[in-house]
């Protein structure tokens, strides 16, 4: 099994055209940290490293090129100012420095691993995915991007960029993860976002990973918190609702019961930290 042809397209449109027109099994190649670990290599690769790496601040939103590396995103000040350090905190525990210098946000999402660390903060930030298809571009919410374990809605289309609507000023966020060590794959990860007004929760976003076939949002918990005082009781109730939203499996890293229980614990802990209460 060997890669027979290496393509260096000059544009995303050309990259997609190659993927649809070339015979054999093809793959987009950016960071390579997933693709080159897989036992079966494709017949041809379409290199998009460096093609989609732009970080840009546009009207009311931040735009992350799909091939931007984890390191560059972590170092992007406009982002960490806007999201209260959410993505940066997630990136800090993302594998090792070598991998962070190679792996890309687009690859992390397109691989569609249920434990993907960048999926939960981006779900909490209500990211939009811009996708290049042969007939043109379309934009879908990240919630609609994952189809199942290792499966996204992309066929041979290309994830171009992630658009993040700017959260309101004063937003509070938190990312928490359980793994054997800080850089490990997540046994479970949670991202939370709170918009507050005078100790009342205006808006809550809660996303959980590695506890369902895809990264998920805990909608019932979010809706429960909207408009409620930020009391310990309400936070606990939201955490209980998050536990009800998950459908974990047992595997070599943890049992389903453990994941269910930790969904509640991490959600509570993350929300409390958003409120400045150290738990």
Partner 1 sequence: MSLRTRETIKLKLKINGEDNCFAILPGDRLSTVLRREGYLSVKTGCYTGDCGTCTVLLDGQPIVSCLMLAAQAQGSSLTTVEALAQGSELHLLQKAFLDEGAVQCGFCTPGMLLSALALLRRVPHPSEEQVREAFSGNLCRCTGYERPVRAVLKAAAATEESSK
Nearer to partner 1 among residue 50 and residue 165 (C-beta): 50
Site string for partner 1, 181-220 (x = CB under 8 A): -xx-------------------------------------
Taking CB under 8 A as the criterion, the residue among 9, 15, 19, 44 binding partner 1 is 44
Q: Binding partner 1 by CB under 8 A: which of 4, 138, 150, 277? A: 4
Q: Minimum distance from CB of 148 to partner 1 (Å)?
A: 24
10 binds partner 1 per the rule CB under 8 A: no
What are the DSSP calls for the chain, one per residue?
Answer: ----EEE--SSHHHHHHHHHHSSS-EEEESS-TTGGGSSS--SEEEE-TTTS--EEEETTEEEEETT-BHHHHHT-HHHHHHTTTHHHHHHHTSS-HHHHTT-BHHHHHHTT-TT-TTHHHHHHTT-EEEEEETTEEEEEEGGGTEEETTEES-SS-EEEEEEEEPPPTT-EEEEEEE-SSTTSPPSEEEEEEEEEETTEEEEEEEEEESSSSS-EE-HHHHHHHTT-B--HHHHHHHHHHHHHH------SS--HHHHHHHHHHHHHHHHHHHTT---
* Minimum CB distance to partner 1 smaller for 104 or for 192: 104
**Residue 258 binds to partner 1 (criterion: CB under 8 A):** no
Per CB under 8 A, 63 contacts partner 1: no
Nearest CB to partner 1, comparing residues 44 and 145: 44
Question: How many Å apart are CA 264 and CA 269, to the nearest integer?
Answer: 9
Q: Which burial class, exposed, middle or buried, applies to 26 when counting CB atoms under 10 A from its CB (0-12, 13-18, 19+)?
A: buried
Q: Is 45 in the site for partner 1 (CB under 8 A)?
A: yes
**Dist. CA 204–CA 263, nearest whole Å:** 16
Contacts of partner 1 in 156-185 (CB under 8 A): 182-183
- Residues 85-104 within binding reach of partner 1 (CB under 8 A): 95-99, 101-102
Binding mask 113-132 for partner 1 (x = CB under 8 A): --------------------
Q: Which of 13, 27, 43, 156 binds partner 1 (CB under 8 A)?
A: 43
Q: Does 31 bind partner 1 (CB under 8 A)?
A: yes
Nearest distance from C-beta of residue 232 to partner 1, angstroms: 33
**CB 42 → partner 1: shortest distance, Å?**
9
Q: Decide whether 43 or 61 has the Cβ nearer to partner 1.
A: 43
Check binding of 107 to partner 1 (CB under 8 A). no
Burial class (CB in 10 A: 0-12, 13-18, 19+), 185: middle
Q: Does 71 engage in binding with partner 1 (CB under 8 A)?
A: yes
Interface residue list for partner 1 (CB under 8 A): 2-6, 8, 21-24, 29, 31-33, 36-37, 41, 43-45, 47, 49, 71, 95-99, 101-102, 182-183
């Amino acid at each position: 099994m060997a890669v027979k042809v290496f393509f260096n397209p000059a544009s995303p449109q050309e990259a997609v055209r190659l993927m649809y027109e070339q015979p054999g099994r093809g793959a987009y190649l950016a960071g390579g940290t997933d693709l080159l670990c897989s036992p079966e290599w494709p017949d041809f690769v379409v290199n998009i490293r460096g093609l989609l790496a732009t970080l840009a601040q546009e009207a009311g939103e931040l735009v992350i090129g799909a091939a931007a590396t984890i390191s560059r995103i972590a170092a992007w000040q406009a982002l960490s100012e806007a999201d209260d350090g959410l993505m940066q905190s997630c990136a800090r525990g993302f594998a090792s420095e070598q991998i962070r210098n190679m792996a890309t946000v687009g690859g992390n999402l397109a691989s569609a691993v249920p434990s993907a660390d960048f999926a939960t903060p981006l779900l909490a930030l209500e990211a939009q995915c811009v996708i290049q298809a042969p007939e043109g571009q379309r934009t879908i919410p990240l919630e609609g991007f994952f189809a199942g374990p290792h499966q996204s809605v992309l066929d041979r289309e290309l994830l171009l960029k992630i658009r993040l609507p700017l959260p309101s000023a004063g937003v509070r966020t938190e990312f928490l993860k359980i793994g054997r060590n800080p850089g490990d794959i997540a046994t479970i990860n949670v991202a939370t976002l709170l918009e507050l007004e005078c100790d009342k929760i205006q808006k809550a976003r809660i996303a959980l990973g590695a506890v369902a076939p895809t990264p998920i949002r805990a909608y019932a918990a979010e809706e429960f918190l909207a408009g409620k005082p930020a009391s310990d009781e309400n936070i606990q109730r939201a955490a209980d609702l998050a536990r009800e939203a998950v459908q974990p499996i047992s595997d070599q890293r943890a049992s389903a019961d453990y994941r269910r229980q930790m969904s509640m614990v991490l959600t509570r802990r993350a929300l409390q930290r958003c409120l400045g209460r150290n738990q």
